[in-house]
Amino acid sequence: MAGSTYGTIFRITTWGESHGKALGVVIDGCPAGLELDESHIQKYLDRRKPGTSSITTPRKEDDTVEILSGVFEGRTTGTPISLLVRNTSQISRDYSDIATCYRPGHADYTFDQKYGFRDYRGGGRSSGRETIGRVAAGAVACRILEQLGVTVYAYTRSIGPVEADMNRFDRTTILSTPTAMPDIEANDAAMKYLEGAKRETDSVGGCMECIVEGLPAGIGDPVFEKLDANLAKAIMSIGAVKAVEIGDGCQVSSRKGSQNNDCYRTNDGHIIKQSNHAGGILGGISDGDTIIIRAHVKPTPSIFQTQQTVNTEGEEIAINIKGRHDPIIVPRAVVVMECMTALTVLDAMLLNMTAKMDSLMNFYIKKK
């Protein structure tokens, strides 16, 4: 079934495999009149590009994006925007080792069970390279949100046992550290931890957090298209994510109501909350406060240790995975989280424009 389309109004369809000719995305429903060129998108793709530090795979890909349609004289036309990234660095090595066996923690077995066979080269469609389409489309969503006064950014909250100290939060550090942590000291500690894990031929999990600022109240649709429900889907759909939290998340289950409720007050004539345990969402609708989402990401399943598994003949075997793999997924996934959040929030904003008769009257009667 068709699972590669996301969004209702701002709707994206991604395609492509790790070792195919190319990957890309079609954005359908982008409003007309947005100034857009490749550089706006490339900036985001560069953040998920491999080969930029000691903790990313040495696979060298430029991941250069080409706009094939939907932009005319520097502005979007309202028609589908097709974005293409050619694969250039597929090493045509012998894949017979993974072609016939199931790597632990990967989707090899489940793809075979579902489809009868799979493109085994580098994980095929289940590879992290699949996120290129998400990021290219998310870059466009972020650009629109910016113009609507909404800011989305994500960062690494923790790597293994090393957590960023939010008192030292520095947004510029996110883009300048290899870990994408907003705390330079945590970055340094995490890098040491990661080097240790690499030496042990092991990999490491981590937690990432995404913030949405400037989102007006009223976004999200009861009861199934709640903003938090759609964010949970968006973020959980990123490979390796195993848990999603909104606001205080897991902590609420051991709290009392008197501790967890956010009371209201006024500020300069505006109604605001006195605290933000809710993470900016009440009843599935944004409350005007900062949106906070956290995702827990498992360690890279490809580790350079002997593992027990089974081959496609059903025989128990031991395997040693070769290839080029990051010891941690999180730093390169941060921009993916940012993009999936942006896509979700933008689509919810677009859907929100028809919530009230007043909005229709303003749009169609004034226009006449």
**CA 284/CA 226 separation, integer angstroms:** 4
For position 2 contacting a copy of itself by CB under 8 A, the verdict is yes
Q: Of 56 and 230, which CB lies nearer to a copy of itself in the complex structure?
A: 230
Which residue, chain included where needed, has tokens 């060129």?
Answer: 37
- For a copy of itself, the binding residue among 217, 276, 290, 324 (CB under 8 A) is 217
Amino acid identity at 21: K
**CA 338/CA 258 separation, integer angstroms:** 32
For position 74 contacting a copy of itself by CB under 8 A, the verdict is no
Residue pair 84/62 in contact by the 8 Å Cβ criterion = no
Query: Which two structure tokens, joined as six digits, stand for 5?
Result: 């389309």
Tell me phi and psi for residue 127, to 5 degrees.
Answer: -70, 155
Q: Using CB under 8 A, which residues numbered 287 to 346 contact a copy of itself?
A: 287-288, 296-303, 305, 307-310, 314-316
CA 163 to the chain's CA centroid:
20
Among 250, 272, 251, smallest CA distance to 263 is for 272
Which residue, chain included where needed, has tokens 């909350």?
Answer: 273
- For a copy of itself, the binding residue among 174, 239, 331, 345 (CB under 8 A) is 239
- For a copy of itself, the binding residue among 46, 62, 198, 243 (CB under 8 A) is 243
Local structure of 189: helix, strand or coil: helix
Q: Of 212 and 282, which CB lies nearer to a copy of itself in the complex structure?
A: 282
Dihedral sign computed on CA atoms, order 152, 39, 236, 243: negative
- For a copy of itself, the binding residue among 38, 46, 97, 262 (CB under 8 A) is 262
Amino acid identity at 313: E
For position 276 contacting a copy of itself by CB under 8 A, the verdict is no
Q: Of 22 and 184, which CB lies nearer to a copy of itself in the complex structure?
A: 22
Q: Which stretch binds a copy of itself (CB under 8 A): 18-26, 44-52, 172-180, 184-192?
A: 18-26
- For a copy of itself, the binding residue among 58, 88, 93, 148 (CB under 8 A) is 148
For position 175 contacting a copy of itself by CB under 8 A, the verdict is no
Q: Which stretch binds a copy of itself (CB under 8 A): 46-54, 167-175, 178-186, 194-202?
A: 194-202
The DSSP bridge partners found for residue 241 are 297
For position 229 contacting a copy of itself by CB under 8 A, the verdict is yes
